[in-house]
Structure 1
C-alpha cells in the first residue's frame, strides 16, 4: 500500500511539473492572500508555491505536506534554511542562484523534479517566497561562493590517486567499494532530523551523468568543498587540497560504469578497474583491524 501511495505521489509531482509551462502565467486569483508586508515578488511566489510546492513542502514550508509521509527522502524543511546544494561554505546560507539552480535541474535520487518549464521570473519569485519561511534570511547573509580552480588533466595516475583517497578517507564505509551506497555504515546514517538517509549511489547514473547537485565534474568538486548540509556528508575544504579533490572526482566518474566518459576510457585503456583492486583490499583489511571503528567521511 505504501509503495502504491509513493508511486501515486511521484506521478502527481511529475504531472504538476509537466503542466507548469501551460499554467505559469497569471498566478493570482483563487489563492489565499499572503500576510501583509510581503513584496510583490513574494506575493507572486506565494501563489506559485501553493500551486506547485505545497503538497510536498507544506503550507508552513516545514516539509510536512500531504505527500511527505510517502516520500523518501522527505521534502526539504525551508524553516531551517539548511540546503544541500550550495556554492557557499558549509553552515552558510546559499545564494539565490543556488536555489534557482535546484529548481532548474531538480535533485537527483529524490522526488524533487526539475521546474525548468517555469519562467526565470517564476523561479525568482518562488525563491523570494521560500526565503520568508526562515528568520535566518533576516539575520544572516549568504556565504561567498567557493572558488573552483581549473580541473586537472584526467589520467590513469589521477584516477589511481583518487582511488587511494577513496580508501584512505574511508569514503567506502558509507558509499561502498563500488560506490553503490551500500557501505558497512550506510544503514546507520541519519540526517539532521534524525531520519534514515542513504549514501549517494554513484553507480546508478548509467548513461546519465548527473550527481545529486549537478552533472559536471565541477559540481562534484563543489560538494567536496561545501559538504551537503543536513546530512552526514561533511565539507573537506580544510583537509583536502584542490588537486586531491580533482583526483577523487576523476575516480568517482569511473564508478559510473555504464556511462561513456573520458575517465572510463582512460581506465579501460590502463587495464580496467582490476588495476585498482590492491589498495582497495588493503584498506578493508586495515579497517577490520581498527578496533576504534572510526569513519572520516559521511554519506550524502
Structure 2
C-alpha cells in the first residue's frame, strides 16, 4: 500500500482499487508518467561528447548488429531524453524516476544483463541488447521501444557499453546452441514435470507455477532488492516471459540463466532433450494460454501421468529385505 506522488501531489492510493484493475492501472500509469518525464527532460542538443562523468570524454564505443553499426556519440541525445530518467546519467540505475520503480532500473556499470543468448557470467552480444531495447522487459517498467529506428537502437547499444570497463576488457560470450525442438508428447510433458520437481523449481515458482513457492518471499537480486519469481499461470495467449515469448526463448533461459537473479543456468545440469521436456511442461502451467502442449495434455485426458524412466533398470528388493529404504 503506497502513494504515487508526482510533483509532491498524492495521485492515487492503490489499495483502494480492485486488485486486478489496480495492477493494470499501475502499469499504464507508470509508463505514461515515465514517458512524460522522459519527454520533458531538458536535453542540451549541442552538448559536447562527454561521457557519464562530465570531465571524461565519451568512449568511442561501437555496436554491430547485422549490417548496422552503432556509435555511442550518436546516442547521447536519445539516451538523455529517453533512458537517463530511469537508468541515470551515469548508467547506475539511479535516475530521477528510479525511486518510483519496482523492480529497479538496470545498472549498466556492472554490465550484468538478464536477457542474453550467451552463457551465464558472460557479456551479452550486441544483438541481445538490441533485442531487449526493442522488446522491452516483461514484468518490469522497461517499455517496448519499437519506435526507434534500427540505427537509434544500435547507437544506444554502443552508448550502454560506455558505462562499464568490462566491455573494454572482455568479449561477449558465444551464443549457445539451441537444437531443434522435439515433438510434444504426453511423455515429454510428464518428464518435464518430474524435472520441475527434481530441480526444485517449485520452491520458487510454486507447484502450480504461480510464483508462490516457499522460497518466493525470501528471494533477492544481486543488489539485494526483493525479486518475484515468474508466475506462469497468469496471462493468456499474449503472455510473455521476461526475455521473449517463444519456446526457444524459454529454452535459452534454462541454459543461460537470468544473471543478477536467483534463476541459475542449467546448462551443466540437464541435457538438451531434458530442457525441451521442461519447456513443454511449463507451457501446461499457462492454463489460460492456447498451446500445442495444452492440446496434447487435453487429448491425454487433462492429467499428467507419473513419469516412468524406461531406461532405468527395474531392481527388485532381495528376498526378505525391506523395500524402499536408501
Is the TM-score greater than 0.5?
yes
Q: 2:4: which partner in 1?
A: 4
Kindly tell me the number of residue pairs found equivalent between the two proteins.
Answer: 269
Matching of residue 270 in structure 1 with residue 300 in structure 2: yes
After superposition, the C-alpha distances for 1:219-263 in whole angstroms (9 at most, x for unaligned) are 000011100000011100001100000000001111111111111
CA contact (8 A) 2:85 2:97 kept: yes
CA contact (8 A) 1:177 1:183 kept: yes
Kindly report which structure 2 residues correspond to 1:119-134, keeping only aligned pairs within 5 A, or say none: 119-134=149-164
- Aligned-residue offset at 1:275: 3.4
RMSD over aligned Cα, in angstroms? 2.1
Question: For the residues of structure 1 that align with 2:215 and 2:250, how far apart are their CA atoms?
Answer: 22
Match of 2:101 among 45, 64, 71: 71
Question: For the residues of structure 1 that align with 2:105 and 2:58, how far apart are their CA atoms?
Answer: 27
- Aligned-residue offset at 1:120: 0.2
User: Which blocks of at least 5 consecutive residues in structure 2 are unaligned?
Assistant: 6-25, 52-56, 61-69, 308-326
Cα 1:181–1:221 shift into 2, 3 Å: same
Matching of residue 34 in structure 1 with residue 56 in structure 2: no
CA contact (8 A) 1:31 1:50 kept: no
CA contact (8 A) 1:2 1:70 kept: no
Asked which structure has the greater RCO (Cα within 8 Å, sep 6+), the reply is 1
After superposition, the C-alpha distances for 1:43-100 in whole angstroms (9 at most, x for unaligned) are 2212111010011111110111111121111100000000000000000000000000
Matching of residue 225 in structure 1 with residue 255 in structure 2: yes
After superposition, the C-alpha distances for 1:170-208 in whole angstroms (9 at most, x for unaligned) are 100000111111100000111000111101111123221
Cα 1:263–1:43 shift into 2, 3 Å: same
TM-score (norm 2): 0.78
User: Which blocks of at least 5 consecutive residues in structure 1 are unaligned?
Assistant: 20-26, 280-300
CA contact (8 A) 1:93 1:141 kept: yes
CA contact (8 A) 2:119 2:174 kept: yes
**Secondary structure of the structure 2 residue equivalent to 1:53:** helix
TM-score (norm 1): 0.84
**Secondary structure of the structure 2 residue equivalent to 1:263:** helix
Question: For the residues of structure 2 that align with 1:105 and 1:192, how far apart are their CA atoms?
Answer: 23
- Aligned-residue offset at 1:268: 1.1
- Which structure's residues are more often strand, by fraction? 2
Question: For the residues of structure 2 that align with 1:114 and 1:140, how far apart are their CA atoms?
Answer: 28
Question: For the residues of structure 1 that align with 2:195 and 2:87, how far apart are their CA atoms?
Answer: 37
- Aligned-residue offset at 1:16: 7.7
**Secondary structure of the structure 1 residue equivalent to 2:117:** coil
Q: 2:241: which partner in 1?
A: 211
Which structure has the larger Rg? 2
CA contact (8 A) 2:125 2:173 kept: yes
